[in-house]
Structure 1
């Protein structure tokens, strides 16, 4: 048996699938460890309907490692939440999730992908820029935050977008 065939018969290291109610506990575990101001379980439960594209990246028969929630619109897709388990960051899982978002955008006929990101989330900004997103606007006082004294305040959001066709070419996605 040649090495190529052996590789193809090995089980996948990760699987991408639709998020279900059974995933919510694992998703919330990641969400609360990843963010100071996490989405609620109700936010995720509400996204489990046909209006959204909601997927998890998981070990087959194992735990959730990351997820995304996106909302298709007219010729566009808005990425609302994308998160990788903080203990699994730096392994390329974010790129796999972004590829899944891109495929979802293609399937929904989107021409434009867009998202918001905190200016303080430099790691995410670098990932999005490396993927092909560009900053196009700023939303004032968008995210809840704490000031240096621990008092509630708001943080702006950077709006980033990318053309689906350009991302497909860049990433080699059919």
Structure 2
């Protein structure tokens, strides 16, 4: 929770909300730690994707300041999309702060498209959220692509990916 509070100062999730999400079987969370410091979290990301549903939602993505611009955020998103596909999800949605162009670029590079705006979504800052959608590619298309967890990501695709 310390990382959540530090990265999302004014709109951090509550401890109760985060615990509820990470223990929900309809959710899938990933945590990235350095191999030599397994107690230090560099990033995490969460997906709400009920099995049998057609739509999923990326609930959160957080990447520490020092881990940004190395492809970690994009790799986490790709891994969430892979899990969504396994669960039968056809479309993945997310909200991203309108004042976070780095994260927006990551999502656009990964194939998300902007489909709407939620005015004043992030409170108390009263910042708009851009709503983005990705049509989950079929498994055949995904097989042709390298595994995002195993493959290094191009550093140019690694803008900060925090919402």
* Pairwise TM-score range, normalised by the shorter structure: 0.7 to 0.9
For the pair 1:89 / 2:68, whether they are aligned, the reply is yes
- Equivalent position of 1:30 in the other structure: 3
Give 1:166 deviation, angstroms: 7.0
Equivalent-residue separation in structure 2 for 1:168 and 1:80 (angstroms): 26
For the pair 1:125 / 2:100, whether they are aligned, the reply is no
Which residue of the other structure, out of 41, 46, 49, is the alignment partner of 1:64?
41
**Aligned ranges for residues 1-174 of structure 1 at < 5 Å?**
28-36=1-9, 37-47=11-21, 48-60=23-35, 61-73=38-50, 74-146=53-125, 154-165=126-137, 169=141, 172=145
Contact 1:134 1:161 in 2 (8 A): yes
3-state SS, counterpart of residue 64 of structure 1: coil
- Return 5+ residue gaps in structure 2 as ranges: 148-163
- Return 5+ residue gaps in structure 1 as ranges: 1-27, 147-153
3-state SS, counterpart of residue 165 of structure 1: coil
Larger Rg: 1
Q: TM-score, normalised by structure 1?
A: 0.72
Equivalent-residue separation in structure 2 for 1:112 and 1:46 (angstroms): 23
Q: TM-score, normalised by structure 2?
A: 0.77
- Runs of at least 4 residues off by over 2 Å: 59-62, 166-171
Equivalent-residue separation in structure 2 for 1:119 and 1:145 (angstroms): 14
Instruction: Say which structure is richer in strand.
Output: 1
Q: RMSD of the alignment, in Å?
A: 2.2
Pick 1 or 2: higher relative contact order, CA cutoff 8 A, min separation 6: 2
Equivalent-residue separation in structure 1 for 2:111 and 2:3 (angstroms): 26
Instruction: Say which structure is richer in helix.
Output: 1
